[in-house]
Structure 1
Amino acid sequence: MPAARPAHFSVLAACLALATASAWAQTSQLPITPEQRRVADQVAAAGVPLSELAPNAPDQHIVKAGDTLWDISQIFLKSPWRWPELWGMNRDQIRNPHLIYPGQVLLLVKSGDRARLELAQGVGSGGAGGAVKLSPRMRIASLDASPIASIPLNLIQPFLTEAVVFDTDQLATAPRIVATEEGHVVLGQGGKAYARGDFGNNVDFRIFRTARELRDPTTKEILGYEAPYVGTAELTRAADTRPGPDGKPETIPATIKVNLARLEVGVGDRLAPAPARDLDRYMPHAPDQPVAGQIAAVYGEALNAGQNQIVVLNRGKRDKLERGHVLALWRDGERTVDKTGERVEPIKLPDERHGVLFVFEVYERVSYALIISVKDPVTVGDRFTQP
């Protein structure tokens, strides 16, 4: 995994450093070679350096209902997103991690200058080569049928249907609400509305307002169209055509029921099919190669963002960003003057890393990321890189 900064290498950066200098990871845009990937996988299988363990990392942990791999990693690691390394997973396994269940016992096994987590073999068996035995007072109930999640999904689930970007202004031709039930100017949850357009074979829809352009902070290129989320609706009766009083065909709009209303639903709002969500793919990992970009927008109406808020990045699939990528936030160093010398000179202070982003949705040219941690408010134009 790429370097966080010169003095803090993650596993992949350490591998790259074996073949090149550490500066390569910060300046080169060349792809990683198959040999570098092979070495990276070998190193990843060894676990994490002892220096990456949390100061009070325990020797073992019993998995509880409600735990996530991220939660458990916070117990053992300084940087919880590095849990795939702690498990010794290679690049493919990061996408298909070990299944961990409530009731299982995790052992922290140290070997030389590295450490990794393993599953205990059971009471009385020799976990970690027989060096660790569980207390006879410990009782482990039957394992829960559902494995624990990889990250705290509650941090991003509220945004999974709300944060939506269209690569083109396709909402302009999407089904639209043309009328509301009699006596209502706007609708809330449970309201009835009438819509026209091509519904396809879909029944469940999201409701949006007119989309706004998302532009790159530097180039001003249109990266996509973000549509303000209004709510959800279901199609309860299809559109129809029947003879009118004059014998000519008369259009009968489709009927929809508003199931959820974040905002008031009104005439002109647009409908888009609700997509299926694959929550199992949110596996935290660093990008395979150096990446750099800027915050293109703060989700919602706020001018800046803080921890657990959503930002839009000006990088997407075409830039090799993936769901689960962890990124570092950077604050530009202040421009000031040095008055201590013989003459006053303008200087720029070093850029400072001040936060962590977790990418949870990726489009062609933009991505949505959750601010996992941050020291200062995040604004449009702020930078991010690999961690």
Structure 2
Amino acid sequence: MRKLIITMILFLGLLSVTSIKAQEIELRSDTPDHHVVVPGDTLWGIASRFLKDPWRWPEIWGLNRAQVKNPHKIYPGDVVILEKSLHGIRLRLSEDDEYGVKTVKLSPKIRTEQSGTSAIPSIPAAAIGPFLSQPLVIEKDGLDNAPYILGSSEGRVALSTGNIAYVSELPKDKGSAWQVFRPGKALKDPDQKDAVLGFEATYLGNAKVNAFSDVSTVIITHASEEILKGDRLVPAPNTIFNNYAPHAPDFSLNGRIISVYGGVSEIGRGDIVTLNKGGLDGLEMGHVLAIYRRSQAKSLKGQTVQLPDERTGLVFIFRVFEKISYALVVQSTQAIKVLDAVKTP
């Protein structure tokens, strides 16, 4: 059963929509007049079917800043309709008997509603799930005081999934779920003479406490890499995916891609990248930035000439630290490289 109450709230919200002038938002040449939402759809994917600039989706729903952060839910079976008129364009959900979907008049009684988890997400949650709780950005020596692996009773050098390990200085008030990290590479800002923005701790796996003591016993429940003596434990966060709708920052921002997860040399759609801008620069989850390639050429006189920046893709910000953000590449027209620029689209 569709979530009728939330659908009605959405309809009421749309009554006050101020249409956007058609020339301000470009539609795709093959834009359909409607789209039936199916399992696996995302807000980004639906917007991409209608708009050349998918991040402008919230504008033609008439959402304000608060609603953009927590958009109305859209569920499989809903029909998204594109309306075009002399006054502009807008997207809305179908009502009455359009496309076989009927509005039901509600009267006071107990109703069964869909779970919020069945609403379609902004972007594929599986693509970023592991990154909502890892990697970890820390200060220099930020793990020095964290609990650490002493070893195992079998004398194993490297621990993996299912192995029992012993941990020193594990507090009892932080819960039984922990993550294992190892101090990693420095994240440097190429625009500030390689100033260090933080250190990316390498995620190694998960552990669960079997018994607390002066030397606690844990079991390695997941190992993405070998876990060694001296590796550090951090309490596992309660990860909640805040399903922010894609939207451009309302301010000008210029940053850079400073690393890519997996160490590949050329970056493409679906890759995770690290940016040298974060919460202190105004970035927040849901922001969309355009990627630009910075190229140079030699003049006939042998001088290095900076060529105009060429747009090569888009990134969706999904995790933000003070000076650093992690983003998913949601669009790429050419290979993207570390040190390419990111800007407000």
Greater mean deviation of Cα atoms: 49-58 or 208-217: 49-58
Say whether the 8 Å CA contact 1:217–1:380 is kept in structure 2. Answer: no
Give 1:364's aligned residue. Answer: 322
Q: How far apart in 1 are the matches of 2:34 and 2:262? A: 42
Give 1:60's aligned residue. Answer: 34
Q: 1:180 to 1:345 in 2, by over 3 A?
A: closer
Question: Residue 62 of structure 2 is aligned with which of 88, 112, 117?
Answer: 88
**The structure with more radius of gyration:** 1
Q: How does 1:127-206 map to 2 (within 5 A)?
A: 133-134=98-99, 144-145=114-115, 146-199=118-171, 200-206=173-179
Identity of aligned residues (%): 40
In the alignment, structure 2 segments of 5+ residues that lack a partner are 1-15, 104-111
Q: 1:375 to 1:303 in 2, by over 3 A?
A: same
Q: How does 1:291-306 map to 2 (within 5 A)?
A: 291-306=253-268
Q: How far apart in 1 are the matches of 2:18 and 2:71? A: 13
Query: TM-score by structure 2 length?
Result: 0.84
Say whether the 8 Å CA contact 1:167–1:364 is kept in structure 2. Answer: no
Cα RMSD of the aligned pairs, angstroms, is 2.6
| Displacement of 1:48 | 6.4
Say whether the 8 Å CA contact 2:265–2:337 is kept in structure 1. Answer: yes
Give 1:265's aligned residue. Answer: 227
Question: Residue 186 of structure 2 is aligned with which of 210, 213, 216?
Answer: 213
Q: 1:44 to 1:322 in 2, by over 3 A?
A: farther
Count of residue pairs the alignment pairs up: 318
Q: How far apart in 2 are the matches of 1:320 and 1:114? A: 31
Say whether the 8 Å CA contact 2:255–2:276 is kept in structure 1. Answer: yes
Paired amino acid for 1:234: K
Q: 1:193 to 1:68 in 2, by over 3 A?
A: same
Q: Deviations over 1:299-323 (max 9, x none)?
A: 2333443221112111111111111
* SS state at 2:295 partner: coil
Q: How does 1:1-387 map to 2 (within 5 A)?
A: 45-47=18-20, 49=22, 52-112=26-86, 114-123=88-97, 133-134=98-99, 144-145=114-115, 146-199=118-171, 200-219=173-192, 220-240=194-214, 253-338=215-300, 347-387=305-345
* SS state at 1:72 partner: helix
Q: 1:287 to 1:262 in 2, by over 3 A?
A: same
Say whether the 8 Å CA contact 1:180–1:186 is kept in structure 2. Answer: no
In the alignment, structure 1 segments of 5+ residues that lack a partner are 1-42, 124-132, 241-252
| Displacement of 1:139 | 9.2
Greater mean deviation of Cα atoms: 182-191 or 303-312: 303-312
| Displacement of 1:168 | 4.7
* SS state at 2:95 partner: coil
Say whether the 8 Å CA contact 1:303–1:379 is kept in structure 2. Answer: yes
Query: TM-score by structure 1 length?
Result: 0.75
| Displacement of 1:116 | 0.9
| Displacement of 1:227 | 0.7
Paired amino acid for 2:42: T
Say whether the 8 Å CA contact 2:79–2:99 is kept in structure 1. Answer: no
